[in-house]
Structure 1
Amino acid sequence: MTALTTAQKIPVTVITGYLGSGKTTLLNHILTGQQGRKVAVIVNEFGEVGIDGQLIEQDGDEQLIEFNNGCLCCTVRGDLVTTIDKLRQRAGELDAILIETTGLADPAPVASTFFVDEAVRAGTRLDAFVTVVDAVNLEKNLEQSVEAQEQVAFADIVLVNKTDLVDEEQLQRIERRVRTLNPLARMHRSANSVIDLDLVLGVNAFQLDAKLQVDPEFLGDHAHEHDADITSIVLREQRPVDMNRFMSWMAPLLQKEGDRYLRTKGVFNAKGFNERVVFQSVRMLTTMARFHAWGDDEPRRTEYVVIGRDLDREMLAAGLADCVAK
Structure 2
Amino acid sequence: MAKRILITGAAGFLGSHLCDRFIKEGYDIIGMDNLITGDLKNIEHLFKLDNFEFFHHDITKFIHVPGKLDYILHFASPASPIDYLKIPIQTLKVGSVGTLHCLGLAKEKNARILIASTSEVYGDPQVHPQNEEYYGNVNTIGPRGVYDEAKRFQESITMAYHRFHGLETRIARIFNTYGPRMRLNDGRVIPAFIGQALRGEDLTIFGDGLQTRSFCYVDDQIEGIYRLLLSDYSDPVNIGNPDEITIKDFAEEILKLTGTDQVIVYKELPADDPLKRQPDISRAKEVLGWKPKVSRSEGMKITYNYFKSLSAEELEKSEHKDFSGHIRR
* Superposition TM-score tier, normalisation by shorter sequence: 0.3 to 0.5
Q: Which one has a larger percent strand, Structure 1 or Structure 2?
A: 1
TM-score (norm 2): 0.39
Q: Which one has a larger percent helix, Structure 1 or Structure 2?
A: 2
The higher radius of gyration belongs to 1
